Structure formats: structure tokens, C-alpha cells
Amino acid sequence: MGEIATSSKQITFYYSSKSLRAKQALAYAKAEGLPVEEIDLLKNKLTGTQILELAERLQLEVADLVNKEIPAYKKHFEQYSLSTDDWIKMMRYNPQIIKQPIALRGNKTILVKNPTDITKL
């Protein structure tokens, strides 16, 4: 793979600091004593390569990494049919539209839907 370094010793957690689900999953991981490297998508802009790699690791198309349920998507992006490169650009400059939280550990990557999902790593 490319730029994303993972370790079997810790969880790399990509999330939005505005997400309640992400905060709950992070609190759960810490309560379980799991070592976590936090990457707030709103403060740390992902590269195009990282976005591609996260999609690959999740076995998703890049466009499927976009959270189409949030108001920001519906307001600004719903009317467009974009190429993969265009979606990468949109996610780089509008990280709030990325599905998250995403947790990685070693070769495993999951999209966290429930706080307890983090224990699957």
C-alpha cells in the first residue's frame, strides 16, 4: 500500500471531532485500554493517495467513501456526477463529507458504525 502506516500495536483512528459516533467510539477504545493514534479529518487534510488507500482498504469505490446522508453533501454535491479524481479533490477540501470514523490496525480496516466495532480490530 501507500502512505498510510499501520501497526498491529495500535489503532489508527480517522474521525471528525464533530461526530458524536466518533467521540463515542474513541471513548470506548480508550476505556478498553486500546492504544489509539487519533487523526481528526477536520484538522489534518488527507492527501489524494491517502483517500484512495482508505477506499481500497475498505473495499469501496472512492465515491462510496462519501457520506451522502449529511446535509453538506445534499446541499453542495448531490446534483453532480463526479469522476474519482474530482471526488478526491472534493474530499480533500471538504473532509466533513468523508464517511467516518475509520479505524485501522495492521492489515484490518473498518468503518466504525457502533462504538463497540472498534474491538473487531
The tally of domains found in the chain comes to: 1
CATH code for the domain of 99: 3.40.30.10
The reply to whether 117 falls in a domain is no
Q: What is the pLDDT of residues 3-27, one digit of tens each?
A: 787 888 899 999 999 999 999 999 9
Residue 5 one-letter amino acid: A
Q: For residue 91, how many other CB atoms are within 10 A of its CB? A: 26
The reply to whether 118 falls in a domain is no
Estimate the crossing angle of helix 84-93 against helix 48-57, to 10 degrees: 110
* Backbone Cα Rg of the chain: 14
The reply to whether 116 falls in a domain is no
Q: Are 83 and 89 in contact (CB under 8 A)?
A: no
The reply to whether 2 falls in a domain is no
Q: What is the domain range of residue 48?
A: 11-110
The reply to whether 60 falls in a domain is yes
Q: What is the pLDDT of residues 73-113, one digit of tens each?
A: 888 878 878 899 999 999 999 999 999 999 999 999 999 99
Record the pTM: 0.90
The reply to whether 69 falls in a domain is yes
Q: Quickly list H helices, the chain.
A: 20-31, 48-57, 71-76, 84-93
Q: What is the pLDDT of residues 51-76, one digit of tens each?
A: 999 999 999 999 999 998 888 888 88
